[in-house]
Amino acid sequence: MPLELSEPLRAALFDLDGTLLDTAPDMAAALNALRIEQHEQPIEFARIRLQVSNGAAAVVRVGFPGADAARAEQLRLRFLDIYARQLADQTRLFRGFDEVLGTLEAHGIPWGVVTNKPAYLTEPLLAALNLSARAACVVSGDTLAERKPHPAPLRLAAERIGIPAEQCLYLGDALRDVQAAIAARMLPLGARFGYLDAAEEPERWPVAGWIDRPAELLPWLGLRLHS
């Protein structure tokens, strides 16, 4: 069952890929650039998009399903090299999120990012989109030894913003996001606009609620869009 919180929510924390940012266009472009480099034809965006939240290894498996472990690792490293050079070419906040962040900021509600993406990609990406100074905290995939679904990164984020975990919501688009939020005693919300794969049966995830567009998270904090 979803975790029920008895205290009012005072902060919002977000996954990055597929939740706060639509990073799939740049990651798909990097994968197809790698395929062309390896003398393969590009593959369709829709196939790549579903795996973006699962990280570079999963994206590379879509592009090179027959690669053995050693070659897959070589391809992953090359993919990351290509991707790092075009982090923010097409990546943007999901539509409506800029207004949501502005509303949170106008009401003094801190927001932050907790992602499994490594810092060397996370930090320049947020900087390129002018989000670094706006975020109250950023916890990357290599900030700690543990990564989601372990709750430690979420607990660290709550500590950094100075708000009890029980008074934070966490929005993500993967089961590990939900599991981490519950373990950290945060309110787990699911981003239905993200990179959900029907094969993972998201309807069975123990979320407190589903968000179809970013503005729908504001009522959980007692807010409406700031005008």
Helix (H, G, I), strand (E, B) or coil at 107: coil
Looking at residue 224, what is its pLDDT?
84
Kindly report the CATH class assigned to 11-22+92-221: alpha beta
Q: Is 2 helix (H, G, I), strand (E, B) or coil?
A: coil
- Amino acid identity for residue 18 in this structure: G
Residues with catalytic roles: 15
CB atoms within 10 A of CB 43: 14
**Arithmetic mean of pLDDT, 40-54:** 95
Is the bond preceding 149 in cis, omega lying within 30 degrees of 0?
yes
What's the mean pLDDT in 128-138?
98
pLDDT score recorded for residue 181: 98
User: If you average pLDDT over residues 107-136, what whole number do you get?
Assistant: 98
CB 52 within 8 A of CB 197: no
DSSP state of 170: E
pLDDT of residue 35: 98
Contact present, 68 and 30 (Cβ < 8 Å): no
The whole-angstrom separation of Cα 12 and Cα 132 is 15
Percent of the residues in the chain that have a pLDDT greater than 70, as a whole number: 96
Angle at 72 between CA 28 and CA 79, to 5 degrees: 35
Give mean pLDDT, residues 86-98.
97
Q: What is the pLDDT of residue 6?
A: 61
Residue-wise pLDDT for 184-214, tens only, equals 999 999 999 999 999 899 999 999 999 999 9
Q: Which residues contact 28 (CB under 8 A, 6 or more apart)?
A: 45, 48, 49, 52
* % of residues, the chain, pLDDT over 90: 93
pLDDT band at 226; cut points 50, 70, 90: low
b/e for 140-177, b at 16 or more Cβ within 10 A?
A: bbebeeebbbbbbbbbbbbeebebebbbbbbbbbbbbb
pLDDT, mean over the chain: 95
- Residues 64-80 have a mean pLDDT of 97
CA distance 177 to 184: 11
Per-residue pLDDT of 149-159, as tens digits, reads: 999 999 999 99
* SS3 sequence of 109-152: CCEEEECCCCHHHHHHHHHHCCCCCCCCEEECCCCCCCCCCCCH
User: Structural domain boundaries of the chain?
Assistant: 11-22+92-221, 24-84
Residues 5-17 have a mean pLDDT of 88
Look at residue 3 and tell me whether its pLDDT is greater than 90: no
